[in-house]
Structure 1
């Protein structure tokens, strides 16, 4: 776990990253960018063969991006700027790739591109209520568990009505939306580890591959098979995403 005085962008040029913060977990497949604001305690985890790039933003630029953890699609221009600013020559003090002025201009272009991008539905919010946290823990350990909310509620001593209200109030989504998002995030990890579409579908709790493909495509914007075969290409996510809950105080 760590935190920084400046907010930072993390880009997965290939592979899949998970960024864990106090508000939840952001899954960052290839060609996505995750933003973690300053002072947020967090840690990163990579899955598969991952090329991870990090850029810190000065406060003057950080105020132009959200004040909560978020994931963005990297446009072609944003991707090239990210790669340019994190290439090997950037760490050569004797002959840097860009002057300070040029680097500042490129960072502003990058922030402008992110400002035009839509947040991706790849941030899984972390529950605060103990009953929801218990359910979240069970489903993370067994994402293929198809128990209903009423059945899960029996293990926590809460009715399905109470749990449904808590999911809406705390996380801004229904239980089934949250579980689907959890499963798709887990599917990205399995695909990065080399599992095929059918294996991944059953491991994540879908009764058949077609249901998995539909849910995956709705969130990621392409089929699992195409996602696995085009790791370095820009993929546009279709689904809208609700803003995460307001940041709690540290």
Structure 2
């Protein structure tokens, strides 16, 4: 991120984005909820990337330098908040229940100030109840770990073991296993699954068939991919963009 815009207040409203379009690096002095009621949105900071389909939203606390990216034809909804209902000082992905979804869509629509103010209390109550979801792909700092992560980002279907990847990076597999836990807060298999789920969401948003997504992301079969996706999101990839 190079030029960073500063916004005193996080905006509230609707912002349709074409596939691949985005909002460049910026920060605001208030908090924000980012939600794509159609398509997939990703938010990237120096600490990593968070991704959210229509069943998830992304929480961005005040002062966080971040950029947005749309995957697929995306109907982006932005909710600016002056106080923090979650007491979270870092970005997070939140589950979006049907009521919260409708509240966000209505709140970012054409409302009068009085109506928006009354709706805000209910929206905040639903946000407080929204469970956090593990859809963060952290950014590594150690150059050996970064080399392995970059190789897998380039090809999520790469099925090499950690030992083989470590040898290419000039490190011992035990060292990299320790670094995955220490720097990224997860094991190597967990990180690779997160990466593959991130890439799968992007490909599905671009209209790639489920079987092709499974192959390109490294699952042995479409059924294996569907099982992992269902456990992560609560529905099958075929329903991901019909919610």
The two structures have a TM-score, normalised by structure 2, of 0.85
1:27 corresponds to 2:51: yes
Equivalence for 1:98: 113
**3-state SS, counterpart of residue 218 of structure 1:** helix
Whether contact under 8 Å (2:43, 2:49) holds in the other structure is yes
Task: Tell me, in whole angstroms, the C-alpha distance in 1 between the residues paired with 2:193 and 2:236.
Answer: 15
Task: Tell me, in whole angstroms, the C-alpha distance in 1 between the residues paired with 2:177 and 2:121.
Answer: 42
Whether contact under 8 Å (1:14, 1:31) holds in the other structure is no
Task: Tell me, in whole angstroms, the C-alpha distance in 2 between the residues paired with 1:22 and 1:40.
Answer: 9
Residue 30 of structure 1: CA displacement?
A: 1.0
Task: Tell me, in whole angstroms, the C-alpha distance in 2 between the residues paired with 1:154 and 1:163.
Answer: 10
Provide structure 2 residue ranges, at least 5 long, that are not aligned to the other structure.
1-24
Alignment of 1:1-250 (within 5 A): 1-58=25-82, 61-62=83-84, 64-87=86-109, 89-90=110-111, 97-99=112-114, 102-228=115-241, 230=242, 233=243
Residue 34 of structure 1: CA displacement?
A: 0.5
- Greater shift after overlay, 218-227 or 179-188? 218-227
The two structures have a TM-score, normalised by structure 1, of 0.83
Provide structure 1 residue ranges, at least 5 long, that are not aligned to the other structure.
91-96, 234-250
Deviations 1:5-25 (A, max 9, x none): 112111111100111012211
Task: Tell me, in whole angstroms, the C-alpha distance in 1 between the residues paired with 2:182 and 2:198.
Answer: 22
Task: Tell me, in whole angstroms, the C-alpha distance in 1 between the residues paired with 2:65 and 2:210.
Answer: 34
Moved over 4 A (4+): none
More strand as a share of residues: 2
Whether contact under 8 Å (1:206, 1:212) holds in the other structure is yes
Task: Tell me, in whole angstroms, the C-alpha distance in 2 between the residues paired with 1:106 and 1:65.
Answer: 21
Deviations 1:170-209 (A, max 9, x none): 2221100110111011001111111111100000011211
